[in-house]
Amino acid sequence: MRIRSGEASVALAIDGYQFPETEPIAGAFDHEPNWLQVRGAVRANGLEWSFLDPCLLTAEAEELLDWLLDVAGGGTPDELRFLEPNLSFAVDASDANGAVLRVTFSLESAPPAASGAPEHVLLELAPGDLERAAGEWASEIAAYPVRRR
């Protein structure tokens, strides 16, 4: 998924399960087989950086899709945070013309010069941009369903 606003851009892609060899086994949900490697490339605030980190669970990737679809439909959902605090998404402003998203990168996903301090990226997006981003994210996560042990 790539979202762009002016000079700022955020690209996120799934680079596989953290533990691809873990076979799904019938039973209760377990975090270990469901960590996803997230590859990110960010350009904002005069900085450019990339990262690769297992910072989303499969269920959280699905939550992000639902969140994006809600915003694309004109909703203003609460800030979306995950078990690993590397990424978060929030709506800073919203109207009929679109929304301003605040994507926060922390810890291993923050720019190297920030030593793990959070970096916020603001992206002003029209509804069509949000729908496109949601469609791209849906394609990214389709191959990575929740695995049960």
DSSP 79-94: PEE-SSTTEEEEEEEE
pLDDT at residue 142 is higher than 70: yes
pTM of this structure: 0.91
pLDDT recorded at residue 34: 92
pLDDT recorded at residue 28: 45
pLDDT-based confidence at residue 45 (cuts at 50, 70, 90): confident
User: For residue 130, how many other CB atoms are within 10 A of its CB?
Assistant: 22
57 burial (CB, 10 Å; 0-12 / 13-18 / 19+) is buried
Sheet holding 8-17, edge to edge: 2-5, 8-17, 35-44, 47-57
